[in-house]
Structure formats: structure tokens, C-alpha cells
């Protein structure tokens, strides 16, 4: 992937912090960026987690596990069980070794949100950035910025699946390309509606593979409840690239795939013409249902 020249787009640390401050509604970024290297990688310092933090992790883990059987996809649950992450905040290195053996991905520790360019470079090189800090007890049910529970519990298990792992790498390459084509806004929507909030159709019914749902206390049940005001429609890539999303409520639209192979193949096409076309028009509101779209959760 290294043939994409990104040198002309390096974001200064200050510019990055300004962007993230906007995204977090002016609040300061959490996390210690002072010891990060040029790729925003830090040491996990596993020994420094407190017993209270391990307790909180266990409570989060147990709450999710009371919800996920029968709702999360088998790929997620099978990998999670093998990861032995129930007993406390995991040591990234240990899981990283198992992950590398399975799909060639590794985990890197980061202080929190990182610049888009850096994020894409990690993904394109099969490295998944995981935030080191854990939320506070009062954030048990809801947290604004991703923490170690969301990043590790929500994202890492899916990287044990070879097809999904390849998709994530291609997404990183696609991100570097989108930066040059001015398509970031569009491409970010695809990440949101697949990697974070994706559902998959199985013979047993709809199942969750999106990390934003898998690590959430409320949305696990909500997204699979028929009759809410949200829709569940089959993923169409161009439609998804053109759909706005909500960051502070449950999703109003869930995009459903039939297989990870479908996701991989559907995104293998060149997005450049899509970006060109979509930039001309208006994005669709998050609660759009087009005439030819069918509700899949009944």
C-alpha cells in the first residue's frame, strides 16, 4: 500500500487537536498525547491499570455478554471467547500475537482519537489502534469518545475473521485515496454504517457485527427490535456513502449485509466516480427510506 504518497497531507498536531475539539463539541481531548510517537503509538502500561478499572471492565464485559448471545454474529462471539478478555482489561500484546497468527493484524496502543491520515495508515498496514484509557464509572452506559472497552471489545474480535480483516485493510487504503479525492465525508459514512453499526443477515435472523452497537448497553436490543422508528435496509454502497448519520442517538438506519464477502466485493470497485457524483448533490437525511427499499426487520 505504500505507493500512496501522503506526505503533502500531513496534519499538524495543532490542526488535529482543533478538529477533534470541534468534534467533541469544544471539550478537551482525553488521553495523554505527550508520549506518543509520530504514528501516535504509545505503550499500554498495563501494570498501571487499577483494580477498580479492572472491576469496571469486568462489569462492562458481563453486561454485554448478558445481551449479545443470539444478537451478535457468530464470527464476533467465537473470536471473543478465544480472546479470554473477561477477567480484566487485557494486555494488548497477548491478543495481538494471537491476532497476528490468525489474520496478520496487530494491535497498537494509542492515547485516544488520532488524525485521520494516521488512522488510515495504521489500517492500511493491518494495525488496529486501540485507546489505552477506560471510561469512568459514571460513563458505564454512554461515552462520547471511544475508550479501551469500545475499541478492544467492539472492534478486535471481528479482525479475527479473514474476510472482514481484509475489508478493514482495504478501507484504510481507501481512506488515503479519499483524502486525495476529497471523498472523506462520504467514506466516513461507510465506516460508520458498516464497521460501527453494521448488521448481517443469517439463517437465524439479523445479527450485529458493528462495534458501536456491540459495545453499547442500549443499542444491542434496540437495533434488533421490530417496530421502532429505525429502518433496516440492505446495504447499497453508493446509497450508504450518501447517507448522513447521527452521533448522539441510536441509528435511524441500519444497513444489512448478507455476508462479509459481499461487503468486501461491493467495496472493491473504484470509488472515485462515486465521490465526483455525490459531491454534486445533496446527502440523504439519516431517516431516509427510498421507494424501492424494503424493511428487513419484521
- Binding to Fe ion in span 182-211, by CB under 5 A: 211
Q: Which is nearer to Fe ion, 157 or 274 (CB)?
A: 157
CB of 211 to Fe ion, least distance (A): 5
Provide the minimum distance between the beta carbon of 102 and Fe ion in the complex, in angstroms, as a whole number.
Answer: 20
Count of residues that bind ligand PHE according to CB under 6 A: 10
Q: Decide if residue 174 touches ligand PHE (CB under 6 A).
A: yes
Q: Which is nearer to ligand PHE, 164 or 254 (CB)?
A: 164
171 binds ligand PHE (CB under 6 A): yes
Side-chain-side CA neighbours of residue 271 (13 Å): 32
284 CB burial (10 A radius; 0-12, 13-18, 19+): middle
- 243, 189 in Cβ contact below 8 A? yes
Cβ nearer to Fe ion, comparing 110 with 211? 211
Piece of the chain touching ligand PHE by CB under 6 A; list 9-17, 42-50, 67-75, 269-277: 269-277
Among 63-71, 96-104, 262-270, 286-294, which window interacts with ligand PHE (CB under 6 A)? 262-270
Q: Positive or negative CA dihedral for 29, 30, 36, 40?
A: negative
Which residues are near Fe ion by CB under 5 A? 211
The residues binding ligand PHE (CB under 6 A) are 170-171, 174, 177, 190, 267-271
Amino acid at each position: 500500500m505504500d505507493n500512496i504518497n501522503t506526505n503533502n497531507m500531513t496534519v499538524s498536531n495543532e490542526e488535529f487537536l482543533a478538529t477533534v475539539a470541534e468534534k467533541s463539541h469544544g471539550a478537551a481531548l482525553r488521553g495523554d498525547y505527550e508520549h506518543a510517537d509520530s504514528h501516535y503509538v504509545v505503550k499500554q502500561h498495563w501494570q498501571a491499570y487499577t483494580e477498580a478499572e479492572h472491576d469496571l471492565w469486568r462489569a462492562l464485559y458481563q453486561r454485554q455478554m448478558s445481551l449479545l448471545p443470539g444478537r451478535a454474529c457468530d464470527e464476533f462471539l467465537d473470536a471473543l471467547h478465544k480472546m479470554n478478555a473477561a477477567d480484566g482489561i487485557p494486555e494488548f500484546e497477548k491478543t495481538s500475537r494471537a491476532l497476528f497468527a490468525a489474520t496478520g493484524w496487530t494491535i497498537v496502543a494509542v492515547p485516544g482519537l488520532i488524525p485521520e491520515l494516521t488512522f488510515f495508515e495504521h489500517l492500511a498496514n493491518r494495525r488496529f489502534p486501540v485507546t489505552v484509557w477506560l471510561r469512568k464509572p459514571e460513563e458505564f452506559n454512554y461515552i462520547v469518545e471511544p475508550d479501551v472497552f469500545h475499541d478492544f471489545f467492539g472492534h478486535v474480535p471481528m479482525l479475527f475473521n479473514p474476510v472482514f480483516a481484509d475489508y478493514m485493510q482495504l478501507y484504510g487504503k481507501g481512506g488515503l485515496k479519499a483524502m486525495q479525492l476529497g471523498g472523506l465525508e462520504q467514506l466516513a459514512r461507510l465506516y460508520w454504517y458498516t464497521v460501527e453499526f453494521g448488521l448481517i443477515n443469517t439463517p437465524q435472523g439479523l445479527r450485529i457485527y458493528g462495534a458501536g452497537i456491540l459495545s453499547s448497553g442500549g443499542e444491542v436490543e434496540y437495533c434488533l427490535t421490530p417496530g421502532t422508528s429505525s429502518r433496516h435496509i440492505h446495504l447499497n454502497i453508493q446509497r450508504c456513502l450518501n447517507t448522513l448519520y447521527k452521533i448522539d442517538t441510536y441509528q435511524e438506519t441500519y444497513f444489512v449485509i448478507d455476508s462479509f464477502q459481499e461487503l468486501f466485493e461491493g467495496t472493491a470497485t473504484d470509488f472515485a466516480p462515486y465521490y465526483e457524483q455525490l459531491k454534486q448533490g445533496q446527502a440523504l437525511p439519516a431517516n431516509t427510506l427510498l421507494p424501492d427499499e424494503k424493511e428487513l426487520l419484521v
